Amino acid sequence: MEKTSTTLIETASVTETPLFDPARSLEYFGVVNYATSERVIEEIRALYLEDPDRSIYLTVTSAGGPTGTAMSFHDHMRYVLKPKLVTIGSGDVDSSGIILLLSGQTRYVTRNTTLLFHLAGRKFDGNQRYTAQEISAMLREDRLKDFQYASVVADASRKGLTPEKVLELMERQTILTPTDLVTYGLVDGIIG
């Protein structure tokens, strides 16, 4: 099989397709946070306004962060701005970083990418005091975030994942390989 200097994609059917326009490519590297999300959304908006009919490529490498921040990014891409966004997961794409990956209309991962699913959690400052009522409210919010997260993943699946199945994956702290992602219909192919 002849390869060119263009980046190639291996799809589930093991065909190769040219991809990637470096002039329209962006990166979301690091922890999911508002500052990075705002910067990347602005960059995507600028490319979209320049030519709304051309694809924009976003590489995602993220160990995660606040679920709400990732959901905001996802919803803005999918339901508000609606660019022709191609996302490429590379390396670690964990936790809320998965939601960033799923914001693309078309999604790929590199060969050495892994995704970690887990339930929501919180970090507490050792000096902060919380009432039982506050802890109960945090628990309700975390359960709601878990269900919203599972629903986004299930909706993105092209092979019929249910929110209940995604919640099972999260409860078991499941790590998925690129092949798993193709099998679950979460990505369109594997790069490399």
pLDDT in tens, 104-129: 999 999 999 999 999 988 888 878 88
C-beta separation of 153 from 161 below 8 A:
yes
pTM: 0.88
Q: State yes or no: pLDDT of 14 exceeds 50.
A: no
pLDDT tens, position by position, 26-48 = 999 999 999 999 999 999 999 99
Residue 7 is predicted with a pLDDT of 43
Phi, psi at 90, each rounded to 5°? -145, 130
Break the chain into its structural domains and give their ranges. Answer: 7-118+173-191
For residue 135, how many other CB atoms are within 10 A of its CB?
Answer: 12
For residue 184, CA distances in Å to 103, 111, 122, 154 come to: 16, 16, 28, 9
**Residue 192 confidence (pLDDT):** 84
Residue 140: pLDDT band (50, 70, 90) is very high
Can you name the CATH fold of 7-118+173-191? 2-enoyl-CoA Hydratase; Chain A, domain 1 (3.90.226)
